[in-house]
């Protein structure tokens, strides 16, 4: 087995990829990656924007022009086609894992992040349109997103909760999932096929905290660089164990409910002085997902070390975060800023995507 396959077979972690485009599917590369151990996929507007510029979607854009569709409608056709086809490629993984893996995510548009009702309605639309059991609808962990997540789960819509940075928010997300399952069970709905992951953005935490530590510049501050993100994720996983391994979830587990797995997103190493598989190696543990960009997959296949690390050194993780706080850096403030920045960044990416589609529309429009 290669290292990706060993992650799942030996450690119970599912490696996913964090990119999608038409060529990935049509060329057979996605199927090949599945054969190498990839067990799921997520998508985002930035990836689609880059793909649109390559001309991969010119045929769909021409069809949209003929139908009189605007750029937003054309994008929906693009993402539904790609996500649907990717889900079909991964359906074998879903079936073989009895619905545990093989998922593909599709995102509710970021401009709905502060509107609970609109987010829920959009999740319903995407769920109905794709109509595949191995779909996850991405909903951000904003204050407006939490009730939408609970309601979606109650309706049997599987959810990828995205843009998470803090352990406190994670606890709220986990309890929204549990509340949604309870609502569904109370109305006689089946809960054994409802799935959810809680996506932590890892490297962005270090990027922000390291910048603050660099500004302080003391030896003590500089010694803490590169420690915040991993410590934060380890404490989140400890919270996962408390919530889903204890009485709070016991009756739902007995009724067939699945745990909401922690997903580690943004696990490429942004700082070139850090090991290129730092986050992939330090966050290995059972019942988790790691979404990996292509360069990290290549590096991990080449020299990644497979060993259970996620629940090791919890005291050190807590001590690292307390030491960062003693430097005058508020982790709560940092993570609050990160989710606001994340929503804004996703919004800009979506605007850029629509602009790219619009430019392609104009280039392809009949003279």
Q: Which two tokens stand for residue 77?
A: 């056709």
- Which structural domains are found in the chain, ordered by start? 3-361 (3.20.20.70)
Q: How far apart are the C-alpha atoms of 161 and 291, rounded to whole Å? A: 14
Strand bridging mode 103-107 / 135-140: parallel
pLDDT of residue 367: 64
Give me the sign of the Cα torsion angle 231, 233, 237, 242: positive
Tens of pLDDT along the chain (367 residues) come to 999 999 999 999 999 999 999 999 999 999 999 999 999 999 877 788 888 888 899 999 999 999 999 999 999 999 999 999 999 999 999 999 999 999 999 999 988 999 999 999 999 999 999 999 999 999 999 999 999 999 999 999 999 999 999 999 999 999 999 999 999 999 999 999 999 999 999 999 999 999 999 999 999 999 999 999 999 999 999 999 999 999 999 999 999 999 999 999 989 998 899 999 999 999 999 999 999 999 999 999 999 999 999 999 999 999 999 999 999 999 999 999 999 999 899 889 899 989 989 988 888 888 6
Q: Which two tokens stand for residue 264?
A: 């580690």
pLDDT of residue 96: 97
Find out whether 16 and 299 touch, Cβ atoms under 8 Å: no
Dihedral of the CA atoms 114, 120, 121, 125 (nearest 10)?
Answer: 120
Residues identified as active-site? 138
Angle formed at CA 50 by CA 44 and CA 52, multiple of 5 degrees: 100
Neighbours of 345 (CB within 10 A): 16
Question: Based on C-alpha coordinates, what's the Rg of the chain?
Answer: 20
Find out whether 281 and 305 touch, Cβ atoms under 8 Å: yes
Distance spanning both ends of the chain, measured CA to CA: 55
Q: How far apart are the C-alpha atoms of 64 and 129, rounded to whole Å? A: 17
Residue 199: beta bridge partners? 263
């Amino acid at each position: 087995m290669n290292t990706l396959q060993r992650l799942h077979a030996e450690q119970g972690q599912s490696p996913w990829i964090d990119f999608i485009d038409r060529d990935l599917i049509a060329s057979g590369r996605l199927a090949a990656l599945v054969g190498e151990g990839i067990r799921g996929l997520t998508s985002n507007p930035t990836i689609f924007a880059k793909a649109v510029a390559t001309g991969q979607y010119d045929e769909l854009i021409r069809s949209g022009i003929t139908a009189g569709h605007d750029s937003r409608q054309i994008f929906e056709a693009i993402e539904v086609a790609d996500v649907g086809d990717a889900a079909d490629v991964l359906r074998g993984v879903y079936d073989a894992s009895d619905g545990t893996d093989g998922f593909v995510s599709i995102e509710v548009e970021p401009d709905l992040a502060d509107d609970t009702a609109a987010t829920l309605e959009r999740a319903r639309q995407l769920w109905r349109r794709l109509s595949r059991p191995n779909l996850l609808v991405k909903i951000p962990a904003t204050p407006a997103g939490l009730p939408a997540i609970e309601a979606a789960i109650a309706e049997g819509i599987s959810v990828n909760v995205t843009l998470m940075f803090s352990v406190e928010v994670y606890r709220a997300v986990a309890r929204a999932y549990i509340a949604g399952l309870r609502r569904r069970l109370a109305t006689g709905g089946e809960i054994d096929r409802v799935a959810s992951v809680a996506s932590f953005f890892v490297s962005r935490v270090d990027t922000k905290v390291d910048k603050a530590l660099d500004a302080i510049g003391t030896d003590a501050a500089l010694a803490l660089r590169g420690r915040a993100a991993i410590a934060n994720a380890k404490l989140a996983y400890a919270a996962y164990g408390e919530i889903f391994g204890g009485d709070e979830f016991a009756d739902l587990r007995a009724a067939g409910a699945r745990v909401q797995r922690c997903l580690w997103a943004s696990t490429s190493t942004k700082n070139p002085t850090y090991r290129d598989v730092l986050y992939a190696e330090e966050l290995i543990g059972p019942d988790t997902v790691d979404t990996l960009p292509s360069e990290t997959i290549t590096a991990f296949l080449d020299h990644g070390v497979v060993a259970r690390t996620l629940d090791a050194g919890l005291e050190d993780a807590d001590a690292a975060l307390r030491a960062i706080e003693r430097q005058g850096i508020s982790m709560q403030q940092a993570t609050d800023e990160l989710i606001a920045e994340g929503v804004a960044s996703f919004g800009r990416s979506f605007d850029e995507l629509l602009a790219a589609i619009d430019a392609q529309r104009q280039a392809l429009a009949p003279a």
